[in-house]
Chains A and B, each alone.
Chain A
């Protein structure tokens, strides 16, 4: 993948049109795919343990939950009902989802719903490996890819001369051949609709949609299916009597602006009409590098000071390591806390001098920590380095001056 716009040299496509509807609708139609791996982590696990196929499996345990080889040569798997701890589900197979357990749910709570489900520890090295494989397989066919994380990508197919459906089948076949895994693809004129569509026929599905089909196929869906309408916005929409995307499309734009502010209001209106002009972002530069950890028990800033301080420092050093390994320095250092009541806060600090130094990151993160209330116990702590700059570019900046102190 190269960091270039996904256009042919002779491309005469107009620049992104202004935000009003008619102009946007008049833009030449693109063909954007959203490819989402099916129950990715769980599926990778099933490749390793084919005997679990067809059974409810959740991923999210700890190393101690790793399957053990028994005397007779068969594997013993941990059951959800035996789990004690505070972990959450990373992913679950479709069979487990049918029992009502989904990503993000606490494992102990999931155990009540599906006590017999198999529990597996997450094996991130394997997931990363399969992630690389499926992306490489897609890139061999369509090189213009926006990486959206470990298990999903956007692909710009506008410049590939092949009918949409055969092309989609070819992509799926390539992914299957490279990984043994299935995926679901949505292909529409933009990222917003493709993201919605890849979810419509899961697993192993293909959904192709044109703008003219938006009213019939998109408007009946719940408003929260739009990527960007989270639980809070959805709740506020519900209070306004807006439940489906169609309701949102029919809502007066002024009313949306009044309730959600100018930019969000306008975006909601456009999104409901299936309009999204965002280009693919093919840059591979990371935006931030972070580490976070949920504690095995909630910690208190004062009573557990020593333990917390050790975790915090370790986290800063790991972020420094990650930065150094990837060749970046960060100008902004931030922290994230989640309290025992699940409220989260973030704080950040912009440094005068970009850094990848563990001590400097620890100091900045410590400053951030002074700006948050610490009466409540903490459940999670994270450190994030952002405003990244390649280390080589930072070295070329004028060197910072540090005021020396008088020997008083």
Chain B
């Protein structure tokens, strides 16, 4: 039975939207498959790793009837991608096989029954819903997600805190050495609610969201969150845990502050980083009078020194930082200048963007 006959790209782009979360190796073989469901004039694509589920759809005129099947997501994607652009492709369901035809190529793929495919139960109990633009939310993620932990035993750090309160949406991420905070205004007015998005969900959203003013509808419930944008619906489970009190970590007042050109500082750091120890990546910042020196040395005792002219009248400072943590923030904000706020070499430094109190980055020094 012919499921769909259409241009390659009509199938490939929705498939790519959902297949990012498909795990290469999984104990459940069906999870490496994508569910294709033809109903009327729509072909729905659905993939899941049990924690996250992504659905999208394509227009499917010209099929012969309704039907559903699951097939290896990676294989189907590889096949479609390697067919020439503009090829007309048809998917035909035959017994237990899926026939893919395009131009003079044909592929017969094994399938697993659609009924066996796990679907996440979509809870809708006392859910709270609000809408932002894709671009705004993507920016919120971009400003914070790099500070998430990756495989920390404190599992609640391997994700990103989303917090609503009144007309504000906040995002916080930390790996225990540095913390990134960003907030934005939303139109809806919501009660205070905290939830932790798993790391994989954040990375996937960052990949899928467009830099557009199109709407992103976010629905929060107790143990899952739903993101709907364009043709895509992404439902994710949440990390069940208590995120640390980030407000306690962000210092309120600091004695010294210094405004720096972001690009100049970034470039100095990139150069100095070449001669840092691969594992510890420490750079030394020496601030005295109107000079900021960035120094690095590696295990072979090779040394780098950069000097920036600054306008500064505060305390002298000789402090070490992991250069990666500094590069992360400089690479992920877009302002012309940044402000470095600090007390001394032993306590946390706060990096902010002048004229923007919606972004804060706290980084702990390396002790010399």
Contacts and interface: CB of A to CB of B under 8 A. Distances in A.
A401 interface: yes
A404 interface: yes
Interface string A396-408: 0111111111111
A406 B280 CA distance: 17
Interface in A350-370: 352
Given A406-B348, A406-B364, A401 B174 contact: no
Interface in A106-164: none
Contact of B280 (A352, A404, A407, A408): A352
B362 interface: yes
Nearest to B320: A401
B279 A401 contact: no
Contacts of B320: 401
A407 B364 CA distance: 9
Interface in A372-401: 397-401
A281 to B, nearest CB: 26
B177 A408 contact: no
Contacts of B279: 352
Interface string B214-257: 00000000000000000000000000000011001100000000
A407 B177 contact: no
Contact of B176 (A352, A398, A406): A406
A399 B277 CA distance: 12
Nearest to B154: A408
Interface string B309-326: 000000000001010000
B366 interface: yes
B177 A401 contact: no
A404 B367 contact: yes
Contact of A408 (B249, B365, B366): B249
A397 B284 CA distance: 15
B366 A402 contact: yes
Nearest to A353: B280
B179 interface: yes
B202 interface: no
Interface in B44-81: none
Contact of B362 (A397, A400, A401, A406): A406
A405 B284 CA distance: 17
Contact of B364 (A397, A399, A403): A403
B282 interface: yes
Contact of A405 (B176, B297, B301): B176
B5 interface: no
A387 to B, nearest CB: 12
Nearest to B276: A401
A155 B165 CA distance: 83
Contact of B297 (A352, A398, A406, A408): A398
B249 A401 contact: no
Interface of B: 174, 176-179, 244-245, 248-249, 277, 279-280, 282, 284, 297, 301, 320, 322, 346, 348, 362, 364-368
**CB-based closest 6 A-B pairs:** A401-B282, A401-B366, A408-B244, A404-B364, A398-B297, A401-B320
28 contacts: A352-B280, A397-B301, A398-B301, A400-B280, A401-B280, A401-B320, A401-B366, A402-B366, A402-B367, A403-B177, A403-B280, A403-B366, A404-B177, A404-B346, A404-B364, A404-B365, A405-B176, A405-B177, A405-B364, A406-B177, A406-B178, A406-B179, A406-B364, A407-B248, A407-B249, A408-B174, A408-B245, A408-B249
